[in-house]
Amino acid sequence: MYKINDNYLKLPGSYLFSTIGKKVAAYSAEHPEKQIIRLGIGDVTQPLAPAIIEALHKAVDEMGKAETFHGYAPDLGYEFLRNAIAKHDYQDRGADISEDEIFVSDGAKCDAGNIQEIFSVDNKIAVCDPVYPVYVDTNVMAGRTGTYDPKTETWSDVIYMPCTAENGFAPELPKETPDLIYLCFPNNPTGSTVTKAQLQEWVDYANRVGAVIIYDAAYEAYISEEDVPHTIYECEGARTCAIELRSFSKNAGFTGVRLGYTVIPKDLKQGDVSLHALWARRHGTKYNGAPYIVQRAGEAVYSPEGKAQLKEQVAYYMNNAKTILEGLKAAGYTVSGGVNAPYIWLKTPDGMNSWEFFDYLLERAGVVGTPGSGFGPSGEGYFRLTAFGSYENTVAALERIKSM
């Protein structure tokens, strides 16, 4: 008789964004006359930039001719894309990362979920609280998190690092020593950042205690302030303690195209064992690579035209972020984020809890956001709005919120 992986049974509820999707669909079915504005999941709304469309068309045509047809992609990704990534995202920023330390994939969510596989189930993880739920849930599936306490909404074997208004939504070094540390900056969901000096402290700490930092930099393109690091490899010593996850979803609108990458420096070793080699083994065995067409589209992100067009796209979303931030402030809300990230983090009014405010906002304004408590217990009493809507919808949502 077969047995299931009963770690899955420990997971409370469904994935946060599936729960929200179901709730909104049910509300819509009951109120078909209502025009709902979705500022919940961080999904982009602007079309792909012309340089990317052009690269896609060209690659599609290549696939239609025997001489230029491409079958399976190389394990780590095509060199043309890995070279572009290494140069533009790392070497041009003074970060020492070479193209053979980059693993191209179909998105950062999969890599964020899969990376834990190369570590023992005995490892203890530390996460920010609130946190992108994928880090915790995938460790639950692997059996690494102990038991769940529904009262505190925490796992017995997870180290939580509260990110609160008091610490500027930036975690402090944990009292208990973790083996794996998940960090995401600019942060999802709070939109907070750390300075280079603060991130250096984490790198020094990880090297000191022998931990690995899994650094999610999916929102790097939204950094507007000077002292905010664009990659963890700007910090000295990160090559021996950090894995970085990157996405093309938020900087280039690839949420429906799917492309991302993971960086594992060759200096990251446990004794003689290189983590790069383990991930290469996993990648080769379980993955056949992002499509050629999509990798060509990824390459166009780094062309001069692509860069200029995407700069405009990011500016468009950041203008939405400013609109939300200023609009909410004017309406008397306590808000943060939205300066180096496309997320605005607000305190729910009148002592409402996060889900109460979700319902209130949906019913009174027809606006969908994300309840802070869905990201962890320290998110209770907070709410996240995304800047990824259209400008018109963003303005309309603000008008509705102000007149609630």
Position of minimal CB gap to ligand MLT: 42
* 42 forms part of the interface with ligand MLT (CB under 6 A): yes
* 246 forms part of the interface with ligand MLT (CB under 6 A): no
Instruction: Tell me how many residues contact ligand MLT (CB under 6 A).
Output: 6
* 280 forms part of the interface with ligand MLT (CB under 6 A): no
Distance CA 401, CA 14 (A): 28
Nearest CA among 231, 349, 283 for reference residue 110: 283
* 24 forms part of the interface with ligand MLT (CB under 6 A): no
Nearest CA among 169, 180, 78, 74 for reference residue 124: 180
DSSP string, 332-382: T--EEE-SSSSEEEEEPGGG--HHHHHHHHHHHH-EE-EEGGGG-GGGTTE
Distance CA 290, CA 372 (A): 33
Of 229 and 379, the one with the shorter C-beta distance to ligand MLT is 379
Applying the rule CB under 6 A, the residues between 346 and 385 that interact with ligand MLT are none
Distance CA 381, CA 164 (A): 11
> Least distance from C-beta 186 to ligand MLT, angstroms?
12
Of 132 and 155, the one with the shorter C-beta distance to ligand MLT is 132
Of 241 and 301, the one with the shorter C-beta distance to ligand MLT is 301
Q: Which of 188, 231, 320, 323 binds ligand MLT (CB under 6 A)?
A: 188
From the list 41-49, 174-182, 344-352, 356-364, the region that binds ligand MLT by CB under 6 A is: 41-49
3-state secondary structure of 384: strand
User: How many CB atoms sit inside 10 A of residue 373's CB?
Assistant: 22
Applying the rule CB under 6 A, the residues between 93 and 112 that interact with ligand MLT are 109
In the DSSP assignment, the letter for residue 88 is: I
- Angle in degrees, 0-180, between the axes of helices 354-365 and 391-402, rounded to the nearest 10: 100
Phi, psi of 45 (to 5 degrees): -125, -15
Of 250 and 276, the one with the shorter C-beta distance to ligand MLT is 250
> Least distance from C-beta 102 to ligand MLT, angstroms?
20
* 41 forms part of the interface with ligand MLT (CB under 6 A): yes
From the list 19-27, 39-47, 192-200, 396-404, the region that binds ligand MLT by CB under 6 A is: 39-47
Evaluated on CA atoms 318, 319, 324, 327, the torsion sign reads positive
From the list 38-46, 61-69, 209-217, 279-287, the region that binds ligand MLT by CB under 6 A is: 38-46
Single-letter amino acid code for the residue at 122: D
Beta strands in 95-137 (DSSP E): 102-105, 125-129
From the list 18-26, 37-45, 195-203, 332-340, the region that binds ligand MLT by CB under 6 A is: 37-45
Applying the rule CB under 6 A, the residues between 132 and 161 that interact with ligand MLT are 132
Binding site for ligand MLT (CB under 6 A): 41-43, 109, 132, 188
